[in-house]
Amino acid sequence: MSMNEALTDTELDAMERRIAGATPGPWVPLLETRWGTGGASCIQVDPDVAEQDDEMYLRRFIGGREVLSPDRQLDADLDFIASAREDMPRLIAEVRRLRTMLVAQEV
C-alpha cells in the first residue's frame, strides 16, 4: 500500500479490530529521558486501576546490541506507541466523520 492511497473501509475496520483487542487506555509513557523512572523506560497501562501495576517493557536491539534507557530514540518510540492507543481511535473516528460529510455533500 502506498501512503498516498485512500484507506479502504476494510482497512479501517481492521484497525478498529486491533484497537478493540488491545488493553484499554490510557497508556502512559514513563520515560527515562523526561524523568528518572528507576532505570528503564516503559509504558504504564491503564494507570487509573490503582490495585495493579501494569507496565510494558520493550526491548530494542540494533546490530545485536541492546539499546538501554535512557535513550532518546527508544523513548520517542515508546511515546509514539503509548500515544497511539488514544490517537488511533480518534483518527479513525475523524476519517469516518469526514467521509460521512463528503457523502452528505454529494447527495
For residue 37, pLDDT over 70 is answered with no
| Structure confidence by residue, pLDDT tens digits, 40-90 | 889 999 877 766 788 999 889 999 999 988 888 999 999 999 999 999 999
C-beta contacts of 81-86 below 8 A and 24+ residues apart: 81/27, 81/29, 81/43, 82/27, 82/28, 82/29, 82/43, 83/27, 83/29, 85/19, 85/22, 85/25, 85/26, 85/27, 86/25, 86/26, 86/27
Q: What percent of the chain has pLDDT over 70?
A: 94
Report the distance separating Cα 14 and Cα 39, nearest Å: 36
Single pTM value for the model = 0.81
